[in-house]
């Protein structure tokens, strides 16, 4: 019980190091999520609104990428962006930038795969109207994405939860450097190994609170979606 008491005391004291770690975690994950949505939603819109050769194969690839081990993503990025790698001249290894890239690779298959299923359902409702009025592809995508906005928020929040819980790839490419690339999940692993359970538990409590908040928002979005027949 003493560890829990110390953990809550650390949170309530607004410890600078603790909130620096929390802030970096949120900044990296939110940036990765924003970029993933900006790239993934239009791609999902194209897949749901058109038929072309190789579409099913590409979708199978994105579905398979959802199960891609994060540590493998971290290893590949490390090889590519290390000093001896082909992109080593960019010098982004052990920086928040490479951490964002790692999370994008992990998140974007989720955004695309889940969004395609949602958007295809909505597109079928409008298909005859689009064909009757000869609506172009861009406006088809805009209309479909806008009409599916509520269930898509559920997909986006799922991606955020996946990003915040990531540790394998982040610790490889970020290096867990204090005041630079140390985020919540990597700090929990480090502080636990050092025996500093109060700090580890504090971050664990914050992660649980964020996770509960995300799941609550997902639940509310599903209720709203059901109410307005987005099923």
The alpha carbon torsion through 73, 79, 81, 82 (nearest 10 deg) reads 140
- 117: pLDDT strictly greater than 80: yes
- 221: pLDDT strictly greater than 80: no
Radius of gyration of the chain (CA): 20
Contacts of 100 (CB under 8 A, 6+ apart): 28, 31, 32, 35
**Which residue segments constitute the domains of the chain, with CATH numbers given?**
2-227 (1.10.3720.10)
pTM (2 d.p.)? 0.88
| Span 63-85, pLDDT tens digits | 999 988 999 999 999 999 999 99
Give CA separation, 214 vs 14, 30, 43, 88, 209, in Å.
22, 13, 25, 36, 9
CA distance 115 to 47: 10
Decide if 109 contacts 62 (C-beta within 8 A).
Answer: yes
Q: Which has the closest alpha carbon to 172: 81, 87, 74?
A: 74
- What's the rounded mean pLDDT across residues 46-65? 90
Q: Which has the closest alpha carbon to 39: 121, 105, 138?
A: 105
């Amino acid at each position: 019980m003493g560890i829990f008491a110390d953990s809550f005391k650390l949170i309530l004291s607004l410890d600078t190091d603790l909130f620096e770690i929390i802030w970096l975690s949120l900044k990296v994950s939110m940036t990765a999520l924003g970029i993933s949505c900006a790239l993934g939603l239009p791609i999902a819109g194209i897949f749901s609104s058109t038929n072309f050769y190789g579409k099913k194969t590409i979708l199978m690839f994105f579905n398979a990428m959802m199960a891609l081990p994060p540590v493998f993503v971290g290893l590949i990025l490390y090889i590519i962006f290390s000093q001896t790698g082909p992109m080593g001249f960019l010098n982004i290894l052990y920086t928040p930038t490479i951490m964002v890239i790692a999370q994008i690779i992990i998140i974007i298959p989720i955004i695309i795969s889940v969004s395609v299923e949602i958007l295809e359902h909505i597109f079928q409702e409008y298909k005859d109207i689009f064909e009757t009025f000869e609506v172009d592809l861009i406006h088809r995508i805009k209309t479909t994405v806008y009409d599916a906005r509520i269930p898509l928020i559920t997909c986006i929040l799922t991606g955020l939860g996946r990003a915040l819980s990531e540790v394998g790839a982040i610790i490889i490419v970020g290096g867990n450097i204090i005041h630079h690339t140390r985020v919540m999940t990597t700090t929990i692993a480090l502080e636990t190994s050092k025996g500093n359970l109060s700090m580890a538990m504090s971050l664990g409590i914050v992660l649980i609170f964020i996770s509960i908040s995300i799941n609550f928002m997902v639940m509310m979005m599903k209720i709203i979606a059901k109410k307005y027949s987005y099923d």
